Amino acid sequence: MKYCIHCGKGNSDEARFCGHCGKEITDNPTEEEGERRKTSGRPAMAAFFSAIFPGIGQLYNGRFIKGVLVASIGIFLLTREREIMLVTSFFYVFLWVYGIIDAWYGAKERATE
Ligand SMILES: [Zn+2]
């Protein structure tokens, strides 16, 4: 397997031009390098998903139990009585920030595994 230096996708060893982006394959990066390029956008995506709602980024990272747990706490905090909303929204913001940071590092960790 030969990896395109432009888009990081795999091509056959004989290929002179990338079958995915059409650019010329001038050198021959290792499989490890191709894998790294392929996963380099993951932390930003995971953080983005967690910014939408806590736990989604964790699910995206394949951390199913953690994602469901974080999302459950988020839903729990958002559905409390109005009288204690000041307290619950404080905890929600804390959870939200934690979710984004954890998703970012979780995806980074996964990319180097
Ligand atoms: Zn390519």
Rounded alpha-carbon distances, angstroms, from residue 74 to 6, 37, 52, 101: 40, 33, 12, 15
Are residues 83 and 53 part of one domain? Answer: yes
Quote the ligand 1 centre to 11 CA distance (angstroms). 8
- In angstroms, rounded to a whole number, what is the distance separating the alpha carbons of residues 19 and 29? 16
Are residues 36 and 47 part of one domain? Answer: no
- Which residues constitute the domain of residue 55? 42-112
Average of per-residue pLDDT across 33-56: 84
Are residues 48 and 13 part of one domain? Answer: no
Is 0.75 surpassed by the pTM of this model?
no
Average of per-residue pLDDT values in the chain? 87
Are residues 94 and 74 part of one domain? Answer: yes
Q: Which pLDDT band, with edges at 50, 70 and 90, does 33 fall under? A: low
Q: Do residues 103 and 61 touch, judged by C-beta distance below 8 A?
A: yes
Quote the ligand 1 centre to 43 CA distance (angstroms). 22
Total domains in the fold of the chain: 2
